[in-house]
Structure 1
Amino acid sequence: MIDFLKSIKSLIKVEKIHTENNVFKLHYKVTVILLLAFSVLLTSKQYFGDPIDCDVEDRKEVIDTFCWIYGTFIVKKSLKDKNMPGLGLEVLEDPSAITRQFYYQWVCIAFCVQALIFYLPRYLWKTWEGGRLRLLVKDLMGPVTTPDWNSATKDKLVKYFLNGRYSHNMYAVRYCFCEILNFVNVIAQIYFMDWFTSGKFTIYGIAYASYNLVNPMNAVFPKVTKCTYYKYGPSGGVNKIDALCILPLNVLNEKFFLVLWYWLLFLLIVSFFSLIYRALFLFVPKFRVYLLRAQTRNLDKKKAKAVIDHITYGDFFLLYKVGKNVNPILYKDLVTGMHDSIVSKEPPYTNYPQTVNEV
């Protein structure tokens, strides 16, 4: 768990080696930072005051604490009242006539848990990746050709990719698993937030954007609520105190959940198309030929096809990642070298490297 929490620090660092695509980064960078920021803001009393403030003259601190712990309520029938929504005085004895509010005690914790879950696929991939890509490209980055790129380095990389058939398939499968996990996680988070808000989250953005006078989200995030406190007198009698309570944090919660609704919707859409892209990447060799030509700046189609036909999808996955991190000129030279080795009549190399460390 300590290693897991330490790895969160990498969110604010600028990465030199890119082992994930931009959609993957939206999950573990932007979303996690967004959720953690929401959680920090909700717990900052010095900026937004107490979470609850009840309008009573006697025993105010006790009643504030009581209403915070045991929850407040609103009257359903009065939610459409544009002046004081949720504060009707009728039929409090009927449990079905009111809606109790308990969720606000857990909002900041829920955001933190969501942030950890969104980071989990990144943590898994970072563990499985094991720095393999860094070992391959650590001396070959930069906008210009580096002195480290020479015929010996090129030959070693060519040997590594051509002799590593099927050795990188699991590498690619694990990355795809993390991408699927990202997509499933977004769906799960939408369902979780819908349960958390009593079935109101799935239509939240639409309902908020279409209301006129009365905010339909007053049922989910009421700013003014009611709380009943029973005080026992010296003679054993019970005095009922009907307190009017203000929940200032719901002004923030309403906006945070709205931003989160639009963000999760956007994330769901781009993640879906990312999975379609990955399916084409894995199962359509012609698509891989197109990607290789695009990445090498229009390499000859026959050469690109020869390389794709010779290597597996896992080998191409790693090769494509290398192309994202090295100088384009070096990358085209590497792919051309692979093609020349493939079409050579005699085996061009002996003593092929078997691991990244040998490269």
Structure 2
Amino acid sequence: MVATEFIDFLNKLHVPDYIGVEDFADKLSFLYSVLVLMLCTTIVTVKQYLMSAIACYIPTVPSGSDFDKFLENFCWVHGTIPLLSNELIPQTMDEWAYFDDKYRINYYQWVPFMLGLQCMLFYIPRIVWQLICCNRTGTDIEHLVVVAHQASNAAPADRSKLVSHVTASLKGMLYQHREYRHGRVLEAKKRLFDACGLLVVSKRLGTWLAFTYFVIKLLYLTNSVGQLYLMQRFLGFNATLTNFGAKLADYMLSGRNWEQTRIFPRISFCYFADLRQLGSTNRYVAQCVLPVNMLNEKLYIFLWYWTAMVAILTAFSIPLWLMRLTFAKSRVRFIKKFLRINEQFHRSDKQLVKDFTENFLHHDGIFILRMISMNAGDVITSEVVSELWKGFYAEHNSTEPVGPEPSAPLPLADHNEDKALEKNHMARSRKSFV
């Protein structure tokens, strides 16, 4: 029932059709991981608060009809002590105090809240990136990507309008960020940019958006790796057990259960040190069953592998984007591909294409076109690049001299000699006529 409702929820959100200024690794973090954690939170919450999460037994039950409920609530709040199969039950208060201090577990009551916290942590980088895309770039970049995707499925008449809208918005952003000032400081800044590239963060130089995206990538990676450590510490595992998910799976496949590992115990003990009745203090030992830990074990094994996969894919995506944006040849090759699709690239335009890529689009323009290509396809991207190229080409050629240059006027001496020759020629013509 929960799974059916969750699938209906996904269909309403149009998760498979989501379009945004993110690649697949980003979507794994802020979209799919959040949905997976929401599902896990729902399952654990239903099991924990609507069904039986703990059941405790005590041989000698004191008088009172509500003692069983009190016992279970006390053990749930205080925590329980798991004992291995070869360990004897403590007999004295000091022994119970030692086991209680060293082995008591009390994470299971906090599992839904921890899963909710993990869900929010996965989404925080997305919120930061949304604020940047909508408010700090001069235009709504996500809107451009969404409109480009709509153009890929639109009728020809609407398609042309949508492509023109994307092109005009992108061109306006690029012109808005152009550098119109001059001076020694700017020259030094450009020389530094030529040497360091993306490390020089500037909207005018076209590196601010691309650099910010790398910062968001690092946030996603830090979050994934940090959540692996967070799960380990929350469950109370040994600090050296960094790959606890793999260890748990190995224990489960090899038949080593909780009685040998003390990990996610199903049966544990609860010690009452001070239960006051009629002025006297009594001590009780209860044996408790934790069916919720069967669910927690499977969920955390899955979440460990899932989070590790997200961290690995995010780590691989960072150098991939570095290759796409930091190498000039890669940027120029990317633009040439779309110009060739529209048969607009000629060998004589090599330098002009390079100037178009480096001095007009910059890193930020290439980044946006990359995102349009990932979400809307190469055909729409080629049309956007074609429109941008036509405008740039026309603007560039308008500064060039059109037609042959006018010939220079003849020197004055040469001009007088030509007139004298013309007069002599006319005089000879009259004599011959006579």
Task: Pick the TM interval, shorter chain.
Answer: 0.7 to 0.9
* Equivalent residues in 2 for 1:85-104, closer than 5 Å: 88-90=88-90, 93-94=94-95, 95-97=97-99, 98-104=102-108
Match of 1:345 among 394, 397, 405: 397
Identify which of 291, 311, 316 aligns with 1:268. 311
Which ranges of structure 1 fall in alignment gaps of 5 or more residues? Answer: 1-7, 82-86, 349-359
Among 105, 112, 119, the residue aligned to 1:108: 112
Query: Helix, strand or coil for the counterpart of 2:271?
Result: strand
1:307 matched to 2:356:
yes
**Equivalent residue number for residue 172 of structure 1:** 210
Counterpart among 157, 167, 170 of residue 147 in structure 1: 157
Q: In structure 2, what is the Cα distance between the partners aligned to 1:253 and 1:266?
A: 20
Could you tell me which of 220, 225, 229 is aligned with 1:187?
A: 225
- In structure 2, relative to structure 1, the CA distance for the partners of 1:298 and 1:88 (3 Å cut) is farther
The structure-2 alpha-carbon separation of the partners of 1:127 and 1:298, relative to structure 1 and needing over 3 Å to count, comes to same
Partner of residue 70, structure 2: 62
Number of equivalenced pairs:
332
1:114-125 correspondence to structure 2 within 5 Å: 114-125=118-129
Does 1:134 find its partner at 2:120? no
Question: Which whole-Å deviations, capped at 9, do the CAs of 1:11-66 have from their partners, x for residues lacking one?
Answer: 93445642211111111111111111111111114897222110125221111111
**Contact kept in structure 1, 2:48 and 2:292, CA below 8 Å:** no
RCO comparison, higher one (Cα < 8 Å, 6+): 1
The one-letter amino acid of 1:279's match is L
Between the two proteins, what is the percent identity of the paired residues?
24
Give me the whole-angstrom Cα distance separating, in 2, the residues matched to 1:152 and 1:262: 45
Determine which structure has the larger helix proportion and give its number.
Answer: 2
Shift of 1:124: 1.4
**Aligned residue among 262, 266, 282 for 1:223:** 266
1:202 aligns with 2:214: no
In structure 2, do the counterparts of structure 1 residues 155 and 255 end up closer, same or farther at CA, with 3 Å as the change threshold?
closer
Match for 1:113: what amino acid? L
- What 5-or-longer segments of structure 2 have no aligned partner? 1-8, 62-66, 135-139, 179-202, 401-434
The residue that corresponds to 2:370 in the other structure is: 320
Q: 1:45 to 1:265 in 2, by over 3 A?
A: closer
Residues of 1 paired with 2:337 and 2:211: CA distance?
23
Partner of 1:180, secondary structure, is helix
Q: Is the 8 A contact 2:152 2:380 kept in 1?
A: no
CA RMSD of aligned residues (A): 3.4
- Look up the match of 1:5: none
Q: Distance in 1 between matches of 2:328 and 2:133?
A: 24
Amino acid at match of 1:109: F
Paired amino acid for 1:205: G
TM-score (structure 1 length as normaliser): 0.79
Write out per-residue CA displacement over residues 264-300 of structure 1, whole angstroms, 9 at most, x where no aligned residue.
1111110001111122233112222344455677675
Partner Cα separation in structure 1 for residue 33 and residue 130 of structure 2: 18
Residue 82 of structure 2: aligned partner: 74
Q: Kindly tell me: are residues 176 and 337 of structure 1, through their superposed partners in 2, closer, same or farther at Cα, counting changes over 3 Å?
A: same
SS in 2 for 1:141: helix
Pair member with larger Rg: 2
- 2:413 is matched with which residue? none
Is 1:214–2:226 an aligned residue pair? Answer: no
Mapped contact 2:339–2:386 kept (Cα < 8 A): no
Give the Cα separation in 2 of the matches to 1:317 and 1:65.
Answer: 56
Alpha-carbon spacing, 1:263–1:137, altered in 2? closer, same or farther (3 Å): closer
What amino acid is aligned across from residue 397 of structure 2 in structure 1?
K
Deviations 1:173-202 (A, max 9, x none): 332222211011111111211211223562
Does structure 1 residue 34 correspond to structure 2 residue 36? yes
Opposite residue 146 of structure 1, the aligned amino acid is: P
Quickly say closer, same or farther: Cα 1:249–1:294, change in 2 above 3 A: farther
Give CA deviations for 1:277-331 in whole Å, capped at 9, x if unaligned. 1222331122223444556776758476453233210121122223344464443
The one-letter code matched in structure 2 to 1:63 is L
Structure 1, 59-68 or 320-329: larger mean CA deviation: 320-329
Letter paired with 1:173 = F
Instruction: Note if contact 1:73-1:100 (Cα within 8 Å) is conserved in structure 2.
Output: yes
